Chains A and B, each alone.
Chain A
């Protein structure tokens, strides 16, 4: 009956994580000064879309935004999940932006989540859906989530700027809690897999990328298999683009990924190119192949059981475990990872013990989980 105490936050950075953590810890938040000094102040379309998505998967959550969109008041509800949900992610960010929070929220829902997301599937900014399917989903098994029911189906692909892709995400609920992970053995890279995609371009582009990427890996490992996924017609979305997502698998079951996408820039970014009449030249596929291969090698060089993209998710999962010790090894801490650690401390009260490991230039993190339970699940 008393007043709800809101947690006050500033700025739009890491809004995604803050919303997810607020929902999981049932902690109402107020975010102020969202791009207050910007030329276009307030929430971006993708952020608004994310809020709408949260309303979709939860029950009775309230979102209040002021007129300029610079202030957001979010009071989380109970996570429900459910089947046959549809969400249009818009075109300002790709689906990968929405998948990361969804997977966490889905785990702690009342019912298993099955949602169809529409928008851009591959993007250079966010992890692509291929990476998500091959790497992110497999991360969860280290935390005791069964892989049954955990799936991502790519129905059609859509490259920026016009998108037109569709994926179906299925996330099971955890019956009670996750289980703490002791995950420090990175192992040795035993194979490299990957998938290229190309929409509305020549099917040969995929092969050219693969050829270039293999050329880089030849010095290291022979076991490289990269598949092509060429989409045409309606399943190819509305704009041309191509890209590649690579996964390195280690002997201890760690997956290290890198991906990239090449496409024409989005409408808002196009303005920068307005002086030139014709569309800007896309990066040739050979260069893309080499680039992504060296990105993957860069990730491998850094070490750790996950790549830099998945650090945040890894930390979040560790913090959501029962109060046992989780121990993980990552490469260099990314800014995103660091900010995740801070957010975890603020919302869940979990602090990590961070120890560098100078021999391998990696970092070992330990934490005692917050003991998060799936409270919304019905007991009968």
Chain B
């Protein structure tokens, strides 16, 4: 046989010729070659020649490096993370549902008929994925973007990008950008390969422009048998699985839940009575974001704020596979949970689990049971199987049992009077132990009460009818007798104590078997409490918890289960008990009993005691006085006690006493240092495990053994957290852990950067990180140290306290009960619209002025108008509000803007629920789907919140002078009252002509402000102003001032979940809309209309010189009073008769002038002609030169062309 093996020739490895791996290989080869080539080159050739250049390059490189860094954030989540939410988004009819169906099919091998609600699948050993289909309306998109960890953007390749995609991208970028992957679909519609390639290229680059260069765009080539090709779906699943999550600031600070199950739990009689009564609902989902405490208020997106009526942690309906050493997932572990789609095998409720088991999966029906038992033997039978079988074997129906059983209050022992068969009793009592070998019955489905196992014997065991084999999915519920046990661990602590050992045993077994269904059923409570941490150390913890809890109820005598045969163990547990009792007492002292103690009853007690010995003088004193006296003795239960942080202990010790001195001797540096060190060490031990050195060291007198207190290692169990002996060791350990984690992180990152840039700068970068990133490294180290500290500090708490202290952990499957929800949410519930439940932080439910930096989206067509209602999405909420826009002036004043600026951020202020600064804001004006344009109106972020509005608006007060003194004038109509004037005293005013002045005071009656008639009161609001010059009565006086703009106190939550989904939500309308609807014309202010300015020519009065002055003036300055003559003067009218000599002279002069004129005329003509000729010449020349130039150019081009052609030919050759 071996020889045959040798001879067999194995198939040779065929390296890939095409595809990604081939490319990778060739790349690697090329890289090697290039590095080799680099070595060959002259290294000096690439050295920096100039120091300035080197410096510049270096600074650039370091700048790039620094920009890459982010402040490390602390990851506070422990345990299993919640499933990764993959939102599949795309315009309608692009194939979203089909993609989800194909992916689900790929993961679980199950066909999904319809995609409704979130679908959780286990996608790998460490990873779960929750698929959500994004609804098509904008509200659904906003909610989906708020929960997405990864968004798959489906794009119809044959059509190109649609607005929805870009809208969704914008929404995501505002609410924290999760990972995004584009999926190009409908590529089979291209017939032309070249066109397809070009389209792909084009779309890819468009996509990159929107997100970042190199953003992943996936191509789905088309449909085969109505499904996407298997290979491509596989690849896509691979891409999804390697996607990394990174924390987004809003989400890491707020708990949130994407509800994957929704139920109306209103009592039916109430609904029956009034169909529109407020409902109680329960929502189920994984807790994400951060830990959630019990008292947290939540916001249901599209509904409103509610306080939680109940929170319960449930077992994970879709748990990760148990840690077994194998490569892939087994088929059984490929779990699948989609209650809204009506699929999946398990349905969890607070106190019951519903299991659907398919026919073909059931291998242990009663018929072939005997055979199989014979085959396999009882040993390796599955626990769940045994359970099912025992249940099958029950002979009595549930009501029969109820009749027979009785309620057991005190003892946990099996009821003595129970008339059930002894075998059955045995089984029920030792529920967890696998010893019960009973096997019979044949029902295929069952529901196990898993909450209170001990109730099983009390109340009921469901039993499947023998004859119902043909019904494959039948659900029976084991009734839980104890309805008021809402909180498993709280109310049933005693029960738990008893049950834990059982559970623990069971759990262990189940881990071993790894069967998926049964495991969950039984480990439910523990899954709830321990967050599904498994293996032995968990057990250890449980042990501890058991000890402390059982010791908590003091009245309980020792449990027989707890009592182990080992005496020393017993003693150890005693110590723990005493210790933990002390612990509980202190906690109770602070939180428990005294808080619940009613002060009223206290007072009554006082009163009664008072009345007994009430003396006469007390009779006239108020009740409080008397009480005060009492309280002096009693201490601090007075509700009106004095508020004083100083605690004065009345008796001061006399510190000259030697004993006393010795007692604190070692607290001083002069004392014994070793003792003090021990003091520190002891404490460290103490806070780790509950083990106690002082009581820990003792000698057992019976056996003569000496017990030493051991370090708490065994309690911690986990090798990661061994307890140190002293603080330094502990510190060192934590530091080491932190360092390791830091190294892991950087290692990861450097790998990433390797992938990202193959640039030569890479080497340089790394160099930078090694020496320049010291601060960054330190920060990282600190963060990691803090994280390790948190984990180690919280690890030693038991689960109940832990939930109380830190809340429900991220990743827990929660059931939230909410009361008094409007009935519409139930009526209009649509599983296709995911319900988002977000926790509200401190002070976020308050309402105030939000101040935001806002920018109109550049694709939105119109500018936004102040006081037009806008729907904003901030944090978890969506509401309509009325913003006022403003811009900051140089002096820090916020000036109101009527419209948003074109391409700038502006300041917006609106009334609404407060959100912390830095939160993103998305504004939408219209929610309707059929709007053609881009729906996102504006984006921005919260700057701060305030309770005071401080936006100012310019105001101009106009007044007219009513009386003018020299430089003083009384101005009317500017103010309405003297009080108003008093407010404006000293304000600057100005006239139209530019004369500046100041408001002085209200005009007094005696100063020109007399009433016109007797008896008339003095007119108010006339201000006395002084100017730098005298003003005219025709002047207008302005006072320029600023006034505060009030911001409307309006906000209205967008309640889209409370109406049919196809209806468009209606909110406040804009003024323009109202006008359009009611066809009201835009009001028209006549004064605002621009008109041509007609200025009348100013007519000045003639200058009048007083006669006295006139007399004093010199003659030249005197006005010459020449009255206007009607007739021309005599000189003009007379005829002139010349002498003959004169006539001659005149004639000669005239002749000479004539000659001269003639000459000039001629010369002019000549010049004109000359110019014309010259111009003609010039034009000719011009033309010639133009022609020549053109020729030259043409020649040159021809030459160039020739040359080009020649070179091309050469190249071609």
Residues of A within 8 A of B (CB): 1, 4, 10-17, 24-27, 33-39, 41, 59-60, 77-78, 97, 100, 110, 125-127, 180, 182, 184-185, 188-190, 216, 219-222, 251, 291, 293-295, 297-298, 300-301, 303, 308-313, 322-325, 327, 329, 333-336, 338-339, 341-342, 345, 348-349, 351-360, 362-364, 366-368, 370-373, 375-380
- Report the Cα distance A180→B783, complex, angstroms: 12
Contact with A along B927-962 (1 / 0, CB 8 A): 000000000000001111111100000000000000
Task: Check if B589 sits within 8 Å of A338, measured CB to CB.
Answer: yes
Contact of A363 with B586 at beta-carbon distance under 8 Å, contacts A313-B645, A323-B291, A378-B943 already known: yes
A60 to B829, CA, bound (A): 40
Contact B647 A336 (CB under 8 A): yes
* Given known contacts A294-B653, A355-B583, A371 and B669 CB-to-CB distance under 8 angstroms: no
Among A313, A364, A367, which residue has its beta carbon within 8 angstroms of that of B687?
A: A364
Whether A251 lies near B669 (C-beta < 8 A) is yes
Q: Is the pair A25, B640 in contact by a Cβ cutoff of 8 Å?
A: no
A-B contact pairs, 8 of them (CB 8 A): A14-B643, A189-B668, A221-B668, A298-B653, A333-B586, A358-B582, A359-B693, A377-B917
| B643-A15 in contact (CB<8A) | yes
Q: Which 4 A-B pairs have the closest CB atoms?
A: A11-B639, A60-B947, A26-B843, A37-B624
In the complex with contacts A26-B846, A188-B668, A354-B627 CB distance below 8 A: no
Binding site for A on B (CB under 8 A): 74, 76, 253, 290-291, 293-296, 582-583, 586-587, 589-591, 594-595, 599, 621-625, 627-628, 635-636, 638-647, 649, 652-656, 660-661, 663-671, 673, 676, 679-680, 682-683, 686-687, 692-695, 727, 786, 789-790, 793-794, 797, 801, 804-807, 841-843, 846-848, 914, 916-918, 941-948, 1051-1052
Closest to B915 in A: A375
A357 / chain B contacts, CB cutoff of 8 Å:
682-683, 686-687
Establish whether residues A309 and B682, one from each chain, have CB atoms under 8 Å apart when the complex forms. no
Residues of B with C-beta under 8 A to A77: 947
* CB < 8 Å neighbour of B683 from A26, A184, A298: A184
Distance between B547 CB and nearest chain A CB, rounded to angstroms: 15
Q: How far is the CB of A93 from chain B (nearest CB, A)?
A: 9
Tell me whether A379 and B917 are in contact in the complex, defined as CB-CB below 8 angstroms, given that A13-B638, A327-B687 are known contacts.
yes
A126 / chain B contacts, CB cutoff of 8 Å: 644-646
* Residue in B668, B727, B846, B914 with the greatest tally of chain A CB atoms within 10 Å: B668
Q: CB < 8 Å: which of A16, A185, A322 contacts B680? A: A185
Alpha-carbon distance between A325 and B625 when the two chains are bound, in angstroms: 44
B1210 to chain A, nearest CB (A): 62
Given A78-B947, A190-B669, A355-B583, output 13 extra A-B contacts at Cβ < 8 Å.
Answer: A11-B640, A11-B641, A26-B843, A33-B639, A126-B646, A188-B668, A216-B655, A298-B652, A301-B663, A333-B590, A349-B296, A359-B693, A360-B683
Q: Quick check: A367 and B805 within 8 Å, CB to CB?
A: yes
- Of chain A, the residue at the smallest CB distance from B687 is A364
Asked whether, in the complex, the Cβ of B797 is within 8 Å of the Cβ of A325, the reply is no
Residue among B654, B655, B786, B848 with the highest chain A CB neighbour number at 10 A: B655
A216 to B653, CA, bound (A): 12
User: Once the chains are docked, how many angstroms separate the CA of A59 from the CA of B789?
Assistant: 39
Interface centre among A24, A188, A222, A357 (most CB of B within 10 A): A188
Q: Chain A residues near B805 (CB, 8 Å)?
A: 351-353, 366-368
Q: Are B947 and A59 in contact (CB under 8 A)?
A: yes
Give the complex CA separation of A309 and B647 in angstroms: 6
Known contacts A364-B687, A373-B916; decide if A349 and B293 are in contact (CB<8 Å): yes
Task: Name the B residues within 8 Å of A33 (CB-CB).
Answer: 639-640
For B652, list chain A residues within 8 Å (CB): 291, 294-295, 298
Which B residues lie within 8 Å of A352 (CB)?
Answer: 590, 805
Say yes or no: A38 contacts B624, CB within 8 Å. yes
Contact B793 A325 (CB under 8 A): yes
Partner of A329, one of B293, B628, B635, B683: B683
Specify which of A329, A348, A358 is in contact with B694 (CB 8 Å cutoff): A358
Are A359 and B943 in contact (CB-based, < 8 A)? no
CB-defined contacts of A367 to chain B, threshold 8 Å: 805
Q: How far is the CB of A99 from chain B (nearest CB, A)?
A: 10
- Give, as a whole number of angstroms, the nearest-CB distance from A229 to chain B: 21
Residues on B with C-beta less than 8 A from A345 are: 591
- Contact call B587/A189, Cβ cutoff below 8 A: no
Whole-angstrom CA separation of A310 from B646 in the bound complex: 8
A125 near B586: Cβ-Cβ < 8 Å: no
Chain B residues with CB below 8 A from A351, complex form: 591, 804-805
Chain A, residue nearest B291 (CB): A323
Query: Considering residues B621, B801, B947, which has the most beta carbons from chain A within 10 angstroms of its beta carbon?
Result: B947
Contact B590 A189 (CB under 8 A): no
Please name all residues of chain A whose beta carbon is closer than 8 Å to the beta carbon of B661 when the two chains form the complex. 219-220
Query: Which of B647, B694, B917 is in CB contact (< 8 Å) with A359?
Result: B694
User: Are B917 and A10 in touch, CB under 8 angstroms?
Assistant: no
Least distance between A355 CB and chain B CB atoms (Å): 5
Tell me if A366 and B645 are in contact (CB < 8 A).
Answer: no
A329–B841 Cα distance when bound, in Å, is 29
Cβ-defined contact, B842 with A370, below 8 A: yes
Cβ–Cβ < 8 Å partners of B945 in chain A: 78, 375-376
Assess whether A13 is in contact with B786, with CB atoms less than 8 Å apart: no
Taking CB atoms, residues of chain A closer than 8 Å to B847 are 1
Beta-carbon contact of B916 and A100 below 8 Å: no
